[in-house]
Structure 1
Amino acid sequence: MVVAEEDLRARVEGRVGYITLTRGKVLNAVNRTIVDRMTEVLAAWAEDPTVALVMIDADSEKAFSAGGDLSAMYHFGKSGDYQSGNDFWRDEYRLNAMIDRFPKPYVPFMDGIVMGGGVGISAHGSHRIVTEHSVVAMPECAIGLIPDVGGSYLLRQAPGRLGEYLGLTGTRMNGADAVYAKFADHYVPRERLADLKARLIETGDVGEISRFEVAAPASDLEARLFDIARIFSGPTVEAIRDMLAEDEAEWALKAHEAISKASPISLLCTLWAVRGGRSLPEALRNEYRFVSRVLEHGDFVEGIRAVIIDKDRNPKWRYAALEAVPQCTLCQMTAEAEGGDPDFG
């Protein structure tokens, strides 16, 4: 099977089912075509005895994938076509779950920027590769969303309280941080990637990765683990924010600034999500509950406007402060999805 479209190329080379994202001009934003075609080829390759493993990369060194297709979501929200947005999220999350339980090795090359939806099609894989150029983050609170595509589950698995820290602040991880935070498994210098890919295509053996990887450098996150845990174990976002305000360390000042600028609704629901889903299906269910309402009742459309459409970086959130968000809003955003929760198991 060969799928050749302007958004991705999918083919079998040697022993490998090989996907390459080709939307470099928009940093390989994950759109409907990518979700549908990946779902199609993965289903076929799972049953194909000639395919020993799956490999996914991008044709741009700048970004593996910087996130989802925000322009499309803005259109859905502004036009009131909430169902199309919800249908996309449902199918995207099912793809994320499919990757997590894929019966063969799934090897993503997380080189360059990997954020949001890009995390969803990479970090659920079995043999995740980062480089010295990797930039991994879940910055959704800054645009009125929450860490989704199973991101809340990945954050929950991070050491200490790194999940709360990374999810609430959107702090960017380098390759070493991503390995430490359990978003990646192998650290391979960029200059070795081409040879590694060729070797995997030839052998179909993920054991070959060990011949190309090197020890990851020391992680800044590991060095700050105790201090992060001390603050981000707070019972509420308000408590975490207030403790950050009392800390003079540079990382704490940056974290406080990020939280102060983010959507209050998103922050409160992010803490709920990161501390919630104990399995990937449960996390995806919780995330879907939120996103299925966010276009109509949350800050996502305004967040996209401020960052992508008007680019004024000055969003006007529905509520000016964490304390102003009514409890009924949180209950609405986290209740069972209208019509019933989709099955992501």
Structure 2
Amino acid sequence: MATSFDNEQNEVLFEHKTGVRKAILNRPTQLNSLTYRMFCQMLKQFRDFEEDLNVILVILKGNGRAFCAGGDVKSVLNFITNGHWSFGASFYRKQLNLDYKIGTYKKPVVSIINGIVMGGGAGLSMNSTFRIVTENTVFAMPEAAIGLFPDCGASHFLSRLPGFFGEFLGLTGTRLDGIEMVMCGLATHFVFSKDLASVEEALDSLAASGVLEVSTISETINKYVQEVHLKKDSVCNRMEVINKCFSKETVEEILSSLEKLGAQSEEKWITNAIKSMKSVSPTSLKIFLRLVREGRMQNLKECLAHEFRVSCHILRRTVNNDFYEGGRAKLIEKGRSKPVDALKTRAS
């Protein structure tokens, strides 16, 4: 096995085995948040792997307790503060290019999501061929809390979920565990973390044997899948109610529907959903609702292009100042002021 490092920080590690290439996110103390350098490095390597006839399969995973908690938004905020919004545009363009490359890859990509996966981490993994989750996996799209919106292809992969579950996840930032991700379609396989090394070894052996069929990879992973069940209070067991509320036309109607439901029920998920939607940027919620609704009729490329255009307006502050204020409060000042106090702008 050979390991290559293309930069001195070793933010992404690449392992080479016969037939397999592994990309390992390596910023564990920052929960593997993605930097511009990492996007560039992975784009180059993934392009090379795609053209290399000796590469049969690519595995993507993260070191530490997170797969990837998202993009390095703090660096984007710092540049915006200094008047360089164009860096943010370059950052997101490179990120979305990588998401598109993985989503349209000519070879199987297996994402091993053993830990936190949020925002940009979801964009990196949700369009891969196989998405393995574990008992340690936690998924969320909480961007509205900092004045952004669920992006990185969320208008594509969330719009493909059953009913209006994608609207629910994007508007409330609700967290899912690994079992829930499989049940709603965000993940393809649930494997206990203790078996991940065995899964990788099996995939290594399979790739070393020659040409692989997607079905063969799935069958190999399935050997390590064990039967699991949703918790009784899982939101996945509330699909009928979620569809009723989140199928409404506007954010205001969705929130009103939830409040009426909350007056009749003490279910915690309803209270949490209302609290979350009231504490974040309403403009961000409206942007996401429109994007996810339009995303149902768009392919991945169209969704990413649409998200990029909206992101540029947010970065230039032509929409409002919510990203700067919310991001500063949430990520930079960290508790010195409440994000909800920073997000003074309210959509008309």
**CA displacement 1:216-261 (0-9 Å, x = unmatched):** 4226233100010111111100011111112233211110000000
Residue 308 of structure 2: aligned partner: 288
Q: Work out which of the residue numbers 282, 289, 293 in structure 2 matches 1:271.
A: 289
Residue 53 of structure 1: aligned partner: 57
Residue 231 of structure 1: aligned partner: 245
Residue 75 of structure 1: aligned partner: 78
Does residue 179 (structure 1) correspond to residue 191 (structure 2)? The answer is: no
Q: Which stretch shows the higher mean deviation, 211-220 or 32-41?
A: 211-220
**CA displacement 1:258-313 (0-9 Å, x = unmatched):** 00001011011010111112211111112111111212323112121111111125
Residue 324 of structure 2: aligned partner: 301
Q: Work out which of the residue numbers 248, 257, 268 in structure 1 matches 2:275.
A: 257
Please state whether the residue corresponding to 2:294 is helix, strand or coil.
coil
Name stretches of at least 5 consecutive residues in structure 2 with no aligned partner. Answer: none
Whether the 8 Å contact between 2:89 and 2:315 is mirrored in structure 1 is: no
Name stretches of at least 5 consecutive residues in structure 1 with no aligned partner. Answer: 327-345
Please state whether the residue corresponding to 2:175 is helix, strand or coil.
coil
Please state whether the residue corresponding to 1:289 is helix, strand or coil.
helix
In the alignment, residue 291 of structure 1 is paired with which amino acid?
Answer: S
After superposition, the Cα gap between the structure-2 partners of 1:96 and 1:216, relative to the gap in structure 1 and judged at 3 Å, is farther
Does residue 14 (structure 1) correspond to residue 18 (structure 2)? The answer is: yes
* Structure-2 separation of matches of 1:306 and 1:290: 22
Whether the 8 Å contact between 1:100 and 1:125 is mirrored in structure 2 is: yes
After superposition, the Cα gap between the structure-2 partners of 1:216 and 1:4, relative to the gap in structure 1 and judged at 3 Å, is farther
Q: State the shift of 1:319 in Å.
A: 4.5
In the alignment, residue 314 of structure 1 is paired with which amino acid?
Answer: K
Please state whether the residue corresponding to 2:159 is helix, strand or coil.
helix
**CA displacement 1:159-199 (0-9 Å, x = unmatched):** 11101100000001101111122211011110000111122
Whether the 8 Å contact between 1:175 and 1:216 is mirrored in structure 2 is: no
Please state whether the residue corresponding to 1:215 is helix, strand or coil.
coil
Instruction: Give the aligned CA root-mean-square deviation in angstroms.
Output: 1.5
In the alignment, residue 261 of structure 1 is paired with which amino acid?
Answer: S
Does residue 85 (structure 1) correspond to residue 88 (structure 2)? The answer is: yes
* Structure-1 separation of matches of 2:306 and 2:59: 29
* Structure-2 separation of matches of 1:281 and 1:317: 33
Q: Work out which of the residue numbers 165, 168, 192 in structure 2 matches 1:165.
A: 168
Please state whether the residue corresponding to 1:103 is helix, strand or coil.
coil
Please state whether the residue corresponding to 1:247 is helix, strand or coil.
helix
Residue 209 of structure 1: aligned partner: 221
Identity, in percent, stands at 34
* Structure-2 separation of matches of 1:226 and 1:203: 42
Q: State the shift of 1:14 in Å.
A: 2.2
Whether the 8 Å contact between 2:147 and 2:343 is mirrored in structure 1 is: no
* Structure-1 separation of matches of 2:226 and 2:329: 40
In the alignment, residue 245 of structure 1 is paired with which amino acid?
Answer: E
After superposition, the Cα gap between the structure-2 partners of 1:203 and 1:4, relative to the gap in structure 1 and judged at 3 Å, is farther
Q: State the shift of 1:127 in Å.
A: 0.8
Does residue 115 (structure 1) correspond to residue 118 (structure 2)? The answer is: yes
Residue 5 of structure 2: aligned partner: 3
In the alignment, residue 260 of structure 1 is paired with which amino acid?
Answer: K
Please state whether the residue corresponding to 2:176 is helix, strand or coil.
coil
* Structure-2 separation of matches of 1:233 and 1:65: 30
* Structure-1 separation of matches of 2:294 and 2:80: 27
Whether the 8 Å contact between 1:120 and 1:149 is mirrored in structure 2 is: yes
In the alignment, residue 2 of structure 1 is paired with which amino acid?
Answer: S
Please state whether the residue corresponding to 1:67 is helix, strand or coil.
coil
Please state whether the residue corresponding to 2:125 is helix, strand or coil.
coil
Whether the 8 Å contact between 1:263 and 1:317 is mirrored in structure 2 is: no
* Structure-2 separation of matches of 1:283 and 1:170: 20
Residue 342 of structure 1: aligned partner: none
* Structure-1 separation of matches of 2:52 and 2:235: 41
* Structure-2 separation of matches of 1:49 and 1:215: 37
In the alignment, residue 32 of structure 2 is paired with which amino acid?
Answer: N
- How many residue pairs end up in the alignment? 322
* Structure-2 separation of matches of 1:317 and 1:242: 24
